[in-house]
Amino acid sequence: MHRSNRRSFLKTSAVAAAGVSAIGVPAVARAGAGGRVRVAVVGLGGRGQNHVQSLHELAAENVELAAFCDCDEGSLNRSATAFEKLSGRKVALFGDLRKLLDDKSIDAVTFATPNHWHSLGVIWACQAGKDAYVEKPGSHNVFEGRKMVEAVRSHRRIVQHGTQCRSSANIREGIEKLRQGAIGKVYLARAVVFKIRGAIGRLKPEPVPKGLNWDAWLGPAPQQPYSSTRRRGWHYLWDFGNGQLGNQGVHQMDLIRWGLGLDTHPVRIQSMGGRYTHDDDQQTPDTQICACQFAGRELLVEVEVRNWYTNTEAGMGERYPFVDHQSVVGVIFLGRDGYMLFPDYSSYYTFLGKDRQPGPSRSAQGEPMMDTEHFRNWLTAVRSRNPSDLAAPIEEGHLSSSLCHLANVAQRTGRTVLFDPKTERVPNDEEANRLLSRRYRLPYVVPEKV
């Protein structure tokens, strides 16, 4: 984007932000702790349908699913029809996010869009006086994650990050045991993200399907031709996604940060890997090993991604199945007295000494993802107006998402990243710094001033 256009847009954004800052708290808060919350869902793909289901389950708790928004007219209409059959209710439909945010009857918005829309959607929602729930990773890059945090603070919004493990009573118990020293001093935390992911195909230009606003779908990303492969395989294209590390791995990296009390960015990050399993146009690694270190902490944090057939590890994927009963996903904390496993979204297991004697553990049948509990926690905070009630406040989401972004920066530059947590920059490495942000298209700009 040209610098003059950017300055003009930033001024407009600043004026808009100043205008909405006086909106204050939403109607639900003025109505009291039991007030009805009117929620809109943005993005009606797979995760969006999960949002709809969870919010429908909370209808008896004075939650009204009031609107849907999607840039695909077909998806919008199909979702509305299905919801009417499910609930007996109709919802308002929006093809343009900005028009939805202009609707003062909407208290809060959930975002289940592709990653490249997450931060901008939340920033716009905050500027419009709405609370928000955003899927992981909360950002597409480090810069816009920081801007999202600033918008939440500046406009005093209640925003939950979609790392649902934090709403699991079992996981919270395990984290407490870990911090109490159940396995002694932790010297290594390892995340494994082993999922079978097929080829995405080739990026061939195609006609834009009827009813799809392709410009809106691209949003902050560079202009490029429509391709069904691009739309379907966005997780594995750098313009839109962050690979499997940013898709699934952010859950595990968040658990590691939480368990170890890592409340800042790492200072040293390395990554190796590549695309080894498929001959297609995927850009992100299908096989990746990352490691990072934190200032003043004598421990190593590592994560490994495999997107094809693999062995199990430490019982994960075998004795302790993941939700889909195919993947091997989880976290292993290794301490001086034993180790602790978190193999899904709602369980933990401890093994002590050289004989691996069972220690504290708790599990939930079916390995539930805790979606509804996470939404319930968010809505409790929406009513209380107290950010400390949130299980996964956006500041935590920014740090966990940035762990994945920094590992991908190390992967893409092919060298160790020495990061300054205070400035959120890489000293003396402009190539790495360029990957901490992106060039935005008008009007889909994440501004400097939010």
Round to whole Å and give the CA distance between 29 and 217: 33
State pLDDT tens for residues 176-231. 999 999 999 999 999 999 999 999 999 999 999 999 999 999 999 999 999 999 99
pTM as predicted: 0.93
Strand, helix or coil at 14?
helix
Q: Inform me whether the pLDDT recorded for 20 exceeds 80.
A: no
Burial class of residue 433, CB neighbours in 10 A (0-12, 13-18, 19+): middle
In a 3-state reduction of DSSP, which class is residue 148? helix
Q: What average pLDDT does range 89-104 have in this prediction?
A: 98
- Residue ranges of the domains in the chain? 3-165+371-393, 168-362
CA–CA gap between residue 85 and residue 82 (Å, rounded):
5
pLDDT value at position 33?
A: 60
The CATH superfamily of 168-362 is Dihydrodipicolinate Reductase; domain 2 (3.30.360.10)
Whether the per-residue pLDDT at 25 is higher than 80: the answer is no
Question: What average pLDDT does range 80-96 have in this prediction?
Answer: 97
**pLDDT at 11 (0 to 100):** 38
**Topology annotation, domain 3-165+371-393:** Rossmann fold (3.40.50)
pLDDT in tens, 286-345: 999 999 999 999 999 999 999 999 999 999 999 999 999 999 999 999 999 999 999 999
What per-residue confidence (pLDDT) applies to 28?
55
3-state helix, strand, coil in the chain (%, to 5): 40, 20, 40
Tokens representing 299 are 């421990």
Q: How confident is the model over 274-292, as a mean pLDDT?
A: 97
- Is the preceding peptide bond at 137 cis, omega within 30 degrees of 0? yes
Q: Lowest mean pLDDT of 55-69, 133-147, 362-376, name the range.
A: 362-376
Summarised one tens digit per residue, pLDDT across range 344-381 is: 999 999 999 999 999 999 999 888 899 999 999 999 99
Q: Residue 330 is encoded by which pair of tokens?
A: 């989880």
CB 304 within 8 A of CB 192: yes
- Computed on alpha carbons and rounded to an integer, the radius of gyration of the chain in Å comes to 21
DSSP secondary structure, 33-52, as one string = TT--EEEEEE--SHHHHHHH
Inform me whether the pLDDT recorded for 35 exceeds 90.
no
Q: Is 391 in contact with 167 (CB distance < 8 Å)? A: yes
Span 114-139, pLDDT tens digits: 999 999 999 999 999 999 999 999 99
Provide the pLDDT for residue 47.
96
Cα distance between residue 417 and residue 412, in whole Å: 11
- If DSSP states are collapsed to H, E and C, what string results for 95-127? CCHHHHHHCCCCCEEEECCCHHHHHHHHHHHHH
